[in-house]
């Protein structure tokens, strides 16, 4: 009799504990999870779904379900196959990767200038790099339109060098787009690289000098391996957003140099074709994931990349 | 073999057997070796280091290294000894080329180093933190210098293999430094320097991160390696015991200045200043005034010393150079016998450290070897007589 009561008591205690644990889980993880599900997972799922509908007369999704939007992504439309999408994809890739390379080239000297200053001065110097990214990207990009327009000093300089016809500006065009992307994403390269460079073991650099290395070989053998994790993080933080960037190609690129981000946006805004836009999004998502995966394999082979992966 | 036990034996053997290299003359601050610098490099200067009036000022008035003149002989194991912040590491870094002296000249093997950057100097450094490249294997770390100098792959591999065998690290050739113990890393760092066959090897407290037993082991190993290879070693340490065990000569530094340079034995037995006496081992030090008849007046009372014409100043006797007798067993008719009472006895295995209070209240530190049955040692409260032989009392000067 008493044994059964004890068992029951034990059972209810265990139930209460399970309940408590579930409650704690929901209180802590619940709000964030709800947010993500409502505003990320659900919309993404809807968008992905739309990619399998037929485009209606106003561009909205209509039944029946079809693979036509995906075929369009591959270049097949009612007018036959066109290389347009491949051109946009390749251009986006080149622009994004160039932005990656250019930000690396700019970031290394900047970062090494900062980490060789006295520790008290470093946060301020880093702030100068990060500060512009706190203002609106659209505003900054508009500023570049002015700076690179036909009447700007920079354009005049390029005109006088004979690289540009008179009365034409650097803006709009591929070069303006490249400048805009590099400028916009530079802080995303500087910050992780700075984090890696600040922890740099200078004794290794001295060891390299002691063992007859100097100049580029010293950098390559002692500094580069130590900053590699930061570099890889920076590349991911720059190349992926730059690949899908919408503001810069739209404002600085002009009509002739579309990137995949602006191509997708135009399917929803200018010449509506939601299913096609959704299909492009699916493609971009898969492509980016595949790229990340390939990058991960590559950086693992380079070694020391664990920290760089998100 | 127990290296720990082997250390004192070896040291004794080296000194008594005269295996130690003949140590060169002490270079005083006034003696400037100008002749050595003006001539081109010659074979018998290979591995010689000449420092002429070297100074390094960090901030406005922080003098890290203050007018140092020093000649380090080829094939010598030279130790720069001093407390932290005395400038010994800065001096080493200037020889390596990581820092530039504000004034003075550095000559390595008779060649002026002023315009020679670190990566072209015929010296290699063993860093305190080892500074092994974490992304390279042990073998790649060791071969790094050879690779940078463009040594052919086959030769590189052969030389790396040989040095790894010599230092008994060939079993770890393909491991990463992170997978090694402290002692193994230390050996790799040494191998990485030695494989280049430098004229001079600079060692910046390379043993300070190791535990006592491993340290003692590596001290002996380092010393043997240096003798075997015949390279000049400049070793920086704050550990006086380490300096005594390994060095041919020692330079004691304090506040950027070189206080005394000389063979280990000289510096220990005949320190030129109170600082040197106290930094190297324990000592009894007193201010003394000269008395007529070859005597000095000390807090212990008047004592006879070996010098017939002593000067006033400071006198010292090492605690192990004092003989202790029981009150009844003391020999008679000898000078410098002082009576006292044992106040403290610290048993240290091989020896015991006694604090004796003399009749006039003056303290005396005495070491006695425990070469008798344990019952024969003195206990606190026992009355003893101490003999301070005149020849063991050293006048330091004022």
pLDDT digits (tens, 9 = 90+) for A273-307: 888 888 888 888 888 999 889 888 887 777 644 44
Q: What is the ipTM of this complex?
A: 0.77
pLDDT digits (tens, 9 = 90+) for B266-309: 999 999 999 999 999 889 999 888 888 778 888 888 888 877 77
B382: its two tokens: 């026992």
Tell me the pLDDT of chain B averaged across its residues. Answer: 84
pLDDT digits (tens, 9 = 90+) for B58-82: 877 778 899 999 999 999 999 999 9
- B36 pLDDT higher than 60: no
Q: Which helix (H) or strand (E) holds A62?
A: strand A61-62
- B105 pLDDT higher than 50: yes
B175: its two tokens: 């491991």
Query: Can you give the pLDDT at residue A112?
Result: 92
Record: contact A210-B133, CB cut-off 8 A = no
Record: contact B127-A225, CB cut-off 8 A = no
Record: contact A211-B96, CB cut-off 8 A = no
pLDDT digits (tens, 9 = 90+) for B300-312: 888 888 777 778 8
Record: contact B148-A217, CB cut-off 8 A = yes
Record: contact A212-B125, CB cut-off 8 A = no
Q: Which residues of B touch A229 (CB under 8 A)?
A: none
* Minimum mean pLDDT range among A190-194, B31-35, B220-224, B248-252: B31-35
Sheet with B383-387, edge to edge strand ranges: B323-326, B383-387, B337-347, B351-358, B363-369
Rounded to an integer, what distance in angstroms lies between the CA atom of residue B95 and that of residue B106? Answer: 7
Query: Can you give the pLDDT at residue A208?
Result: 95
Query: Can you give the pLDDT at residue B397?
Result: 66
Sheet with B77-81, edge to edge strand ranges: B123-126, B200-204, B232-237, B77-81, B249-254, B257-263
Q: Which residues of B touch A217 (CB under 8 A)?
A: 148
- B38 pLDDT higher than 50: no
Could you tell me the pTM of the whole model?
0.76
Q: Minimal Cα distance from A225: which residue of B?
A: B135
pLDDT digits (tens, 9 = 90+) for B151-186: 999 999 999 999 999 888 989 999 999 999 988 999
Query: Can you give the pLDDT at residue A309?
Result: 40
Q: Minimal Cα distance from A202: which residue of B?
A: B131
Query: Can you give the pLDDT at residue A265?
Result: 85
Q: Across A138-147, A208-217, A240-249, B370-379, which has the greatest mean pLDDT?
A: A208-217
Q: Minimal Cα distance from B194: which residue of A?
A: A211
Tell me the pLDDT of chain A averaged across its residues. Answer: 84
Q: pLDDT: is A189 or A246 the higher one?
A: A189
Question: What is the mean predicted confidence (pLDDT) over A133-157?
Answer: 81
Q: Which residues of A touch B178 (CB under 8 A)?
A: none
Which stretches of chain B are assigned E, i.e. beta strand? Answer: 49-57, 63-72, 77-81, 103-108, 111-112, 123-126, 200-204, 232-237, 249-254, 257-263, 284-291, 295-298, 301-304, 313-317, 323-326, 337-347, 351-358, 363-369, 383-387, 394-397
Query: Can you give the pLDDT at residue B43?
Result: 58
Looking at chain A, how many residues does it have?
310
B-interface mutation test, from A199, A200, A211, most B Cβ less than 10 A away: A211
Q: Across A9-13, B181-185, B259-263, B322-326, which has the greatest mean pLDDT?
A: B259-263
Query: Can you give the pLDDT at residue B375?
Result: 65
pLDDT digits (tens, 9 = 90+) for A14-50: 888 888 888 888 888 889 999 999 998 998 898 888 8
∠ CA B268-B271-B274 to the nearest 5 degrees? 120
Question: Domains of chain A, with CATH numbers?
Answer: 1-71 (no CATH), 83-305 (1.10.3720.10)
A245: its two tokens: 């960037």
A-interface mutation test, from B93, B144, B147, B198, most A Cβ less than 10 A away: B144
Q: Which residues of A touch B97 (CB under 8 A)?
A: 209
Record: contact A212-B149, CB cut-off 8 A = yes
């Amino acid at each position: 009799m008493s044994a059964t009561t004890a068992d029951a008591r034990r059972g209810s205690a265990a139930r209460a504990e399970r309940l408590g644990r579930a409650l704690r889980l929901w209180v802590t993880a619940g709000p964030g999870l709800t947010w993500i599900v409502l505003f990320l997972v659900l919309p993404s799922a809807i968008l992905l779904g739309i990619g399998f509908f037929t485009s209606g007369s106003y561009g909205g999704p209509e039944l029946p379900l079809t693979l036509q939007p995906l075929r369009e992504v591959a270049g097949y439309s009612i007018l036959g196959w066109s290389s347009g999408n491949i051109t946009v994809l390749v251009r986006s890739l080149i622009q994004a990767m160039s932005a990656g390379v250019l930000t690396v080239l700019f970031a290394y000297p900047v970062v090494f200038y900062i980490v060789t200053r006295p520790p008290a001065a470093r946060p301020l110097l880093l702030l100068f790099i990060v500060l512009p990214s706190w203002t609106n990207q659209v505003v900054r990009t508009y500023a570049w339109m002015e700076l690179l327009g036909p009447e700007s000093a920079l354009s005049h300089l390029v005109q006088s060098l004979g690289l540009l016809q008179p009365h034409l500006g650097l803006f709009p065009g591929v070069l303006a787009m490249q400048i805009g992307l590099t400028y916009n994403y530079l802080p995303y390269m500087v910050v992780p690289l700075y984090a890696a460079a600040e922890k740099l073991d200078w004794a290794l650099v001295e060891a390299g000098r002691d063992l007859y290395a100097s100049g580029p070989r010293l950098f390559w053998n002692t500094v580069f391996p130590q900053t590699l994790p930061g570099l890889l993080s920076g590349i991911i933080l720059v190349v992926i957003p730059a690949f899908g960037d919408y503001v810069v190609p739209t404002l600085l690129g002009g009509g002739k140099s579309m990137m995949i981000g602006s191509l997708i946006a135009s399917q929803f805004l200018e010449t509506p074709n939601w299913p096609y836009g959704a299909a492009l999004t699916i493609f971009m998502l898969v492509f980016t994931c595949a790229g990340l995966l390939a990058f991960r394999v590559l950086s693992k082979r380079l070694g020391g990349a664990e920290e760089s992966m998100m | 073999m127990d290296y720990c036990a082997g250390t004192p034996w070896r040291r004794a053997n080296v000194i008594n057997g005269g295996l130690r290299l003949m140590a060169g003359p002490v270079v005083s601050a006034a003696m400037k070796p100008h002749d050595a610098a003006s001539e081109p490099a010659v074979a018998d200067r290979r591995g010689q280091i000449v420092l002429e009036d070297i100074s390094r000022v960090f901030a406005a008035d922080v003098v890290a290294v203050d007018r140092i003149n020093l000649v380090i002989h080829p094939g010598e194991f030279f130790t720069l000894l001093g407390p932290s912040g005395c400038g010994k590491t800065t001096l080493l870094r200037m020889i390596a080329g990581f820092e530039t002296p504000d004034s003075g000249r550095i000559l390595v093997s008779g060649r002026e180093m002023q315009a020679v950057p670190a990566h072209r100097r015929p010296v290699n450094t063993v860093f305190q933190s080892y500074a092994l490249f974490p992304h390279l294997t042990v073998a790649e770390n060791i071969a790094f210098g050879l690779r940078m100098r463009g040594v052919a792959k086959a030769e590189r591999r052969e030389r790396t293999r040989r040095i790894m065998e010599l230092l008994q690290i060939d079993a770890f050739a393909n491991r990463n430094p992170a997978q090694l113990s402290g002692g193994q890393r230390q050996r790799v760092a040494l191998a990485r320097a030695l494989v280049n066959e430098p004229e001079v090897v600079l060692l910046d407290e390379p043993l300070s991160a190791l535990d006592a037993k491993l340290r003692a082991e590596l001290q002996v190993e380092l010393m043997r390696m240096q003798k075997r290879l015949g390279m000049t070693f400049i070793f920086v340490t704050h550990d006086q015991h380490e300096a005594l065990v390994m060095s041919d000569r020692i330079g004691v530094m304090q506040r950027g200045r070189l206080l005394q340079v000389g063979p280990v034995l000289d510096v220990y037995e005949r320190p030129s200043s109170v600082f040197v006496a106290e930094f190297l081992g324990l000592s009894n030090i007193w201010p003394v005034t000269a008395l007529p008849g070859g005597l000095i007046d000390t807090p212990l009372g008047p004592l006879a010393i070996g010098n017939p014409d002593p000067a006033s100043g400071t006198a010292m006797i090492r605690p192990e150079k004092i003989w202790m007798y029981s009150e009844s067993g003391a020999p008679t008719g000898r000078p410098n016998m002082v009576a006292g009472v044992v106040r403290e006895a610290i048993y240290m295995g091989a020896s015991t450290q006694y604090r004796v209070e003399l009749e006039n209240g003056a303290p005396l530190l005495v070491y006695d070897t425990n070469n008798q049955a344990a019952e024969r040692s003195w206990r606190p409260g026992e009355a003893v007589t101490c003999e301070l032989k005149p020849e063991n009392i050293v006048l330091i000067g004022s």
